[in-house]
Amino acid sequence: MNIELLNSNIADTKAEINVEFLSSHDLDSHLDKELLTKAGFKAEQDSICFLHERKLLLCGLEKNEADEVRSASASMIKTLKSSNYASIKISVISNSTLTGLVEGIILGGYEFNNYKSEPNEISIKDIFLVTNDLDFEALNTTFKNALIVANATCFTRDIVNTAPQELHPQSLVDVAKKLAADNSLECNILQEDDLAKEKMGAMLAVGRASVHRSALIHLSYKPANAKKIISLIGKGLTYDSGGLSLKPATSMVTMKMDKSGACAVLGMIKAASEMKLDVEIHAFIGAVENMIGGNAYKPDDILVSRSGTTIEVRNTDAEGRLVLADVLSYAQDNVKADNIFDFATLTGACMVALGQYTTGLMGHSNKLKHDISRAATASGELTGSLPFNRHLKKLIKSEIADICNTASKPYGGAITAGLFLDKFILEENKDKWVHFDIAGSAYTESPWDCNVYGGTGAGVRMISEYLKNI
C-alpha cells in the first residue's frame, strides 16, 4: 500500500472511499444521521459502518486521541482489506493523532504471507491522508517519522515470524549484515572461536547442542554529533526447545518468538538510523539455538561466565539469562554507554504478573524507568514496573557457585530473572540499566489493538519515542 500525505482539500482529493472518524458527540450533527441511526451505528470505539452507496466508511472513536485513532485505524484497514476498493482518503484530525493514524494503518494492515502458497490479494493501492488547515511542514515531519517507525516495527515482526528452520543464529547474522549494509551501520560478528577467546562460557553452553553455531552480533550507528550513547542488548534465541529441561509439546509451539528481543533491537537501530537521530546506538545480540543432544548442557552443570561469575544450572530452560549474562558483560566492556537497555522474552512469570499486553520494566533508577514509561505511553505501548528487593535476591543464591540460574521458589519469577541479570551489571552502570521483559507483549495469537497474529514488534515504538526525546 502506498501512503501519501497531501496538502489539499478533502473534497478535491480523488479516491474511491472517504474514511471519517466519528465520536458519539458528532453523530447528531452528521449529514447521514438518519442512515447511521438505521444502521445501528453508535460510534463506539473501533466500530465500523460502511455506507457503500455514499462511498463512505465511518469509524467510531471514544475520543480524538492517538491511542484511540490507532486502534480505530487498525479496525478500518482490516475492513477495507476485504473490499475491492483501490484508493482511500482520510482527513487528518491533528498532528498529535497522525502517528496513531499511520501506525494503525500499517501495523493493523500487516500480514506475514511468506509461507502461503496463495497469498491474499489486497485491492488497496493508495491511501491519501489529507489536510489543508494544519501546519503541513510539521505534519510532514511527523508523517515521515511515523512511517519509519511503523515500517521498522513490521521489519521486526517479519524476523520474529520467520520459521526456525530458516532463521537460525547464522541466518540472523545475515539479516544483521544486510541491515548494516542498507543503513550504513558498522557491523562486527563474533563467531564461536571468538566467543571462546572472550571466555563466554554461559552463552556457548546454551548453544552447544545445536547444529547451528552461536554468534554475537554488534551493530553500531554513529552520527557526527551524538548527544548520548545507548547500548541495546537483545536475547536472540532463534529457537528454544528448553534443552534437557524439555518444554511440553504445547509450550514449544511459537518458540520461534524467543528471538523477539534481538529482532526488536534490530528494528530500533534501523528506525534510529533512518530518522537520523543524534544518538549513538550500539546493538548487541546473542544469537543462539537451545536444543537437545549428547553434548547439551545439563542441570547441575557449573558454568563460568565471561565476567568470571560461576553459575549453577538448575534448569536448562532458563537459558536466555545465561546468554544475556555474557552479552551484557561484553557490551559494558566494549562501549561506555549512557544507558544500557536489554530486551528479552525472558519469563512466563512476567505475563502472569502483568498480562499478555504489557512489557515488564526492571532496574534501579526510578527516574529512568519513569522516563521510559512516559515514552511508552506516548508511543501506544504498555509497561509495568516490577520492583527489585533483597528478599527475592536470596532465592537465586547457590550453595556451590556464585549464583543459580533459577530461583529456589516459584514466586516473583520475572523479578528473580531480572535480579540474575543485575549480577552482571557493573556497579557504575546500575542506574543506567533497565531490563525489559517482553515475554507477553512480543507475540500474540489473538489480534488486539494494531497487533495482528504473530510478532508484535514490541519495544520498537517505545524506544524510538524515547530516543527521539533525547
Mean pLDDT of 177-206: 98
- pLDDT of the residue at 448: 95
Rounded to an integer, what distance in angstroms lies between the CA atom of residue 140 and that of residue 135? Answer: 9
Rounded to an integer, what distance in angstroms lies between the CA atom of residue 236 and that of residue 261? Answer: 6
70, 89, 256, 321: the active-site residue: 321
pLDDT digits (tens, 9 = 90+) for 71-112: 999 999 999 999 999 999 999 999 999 999 999 999 999 999
Backbone angles phi, psi at 360, to 5 degrees: -85, 130
Distance of CA 17 to the CA centre of its chain: 32
pLDDT digits (tens, 9 = 90+) for 109-128: 999 999 999 988 889 999 99
pLDDT digits (tens, 9 = 90+) for 196-207: 999 999 999 999
- pLDDT of the residue at 158: 98
321 catalytic? Reply is yes
Percentage of the chain modeled with pLDDT above 70: 100
- pLDDT of the residue at 24: 85
Class of domain 164-468: alpha beta
Q: Indicate the average pLDDT of the chain.
A: 97
**SS3 (DSSP) at 186:** strand
CATH 3.30.360.10 is the classification of domain 2-134: no
- pLDDT of the residue at 156: 98
- pLDDT of the residue at 216: 99
208 catalytic? Reply is no
Per-residue pLDDT at 384 exceeds 90: yes
| Look-up of cell digits 528479552 | 344
Per-domain boundaries in the chain? 2-134, 164-468
Distance of CA 98 to the CA centre of its chain: 21
Return all residues near 64 (Cβ < 8 A) that are at least 6 apart. Answer: 21, 23, 93, 94, 97
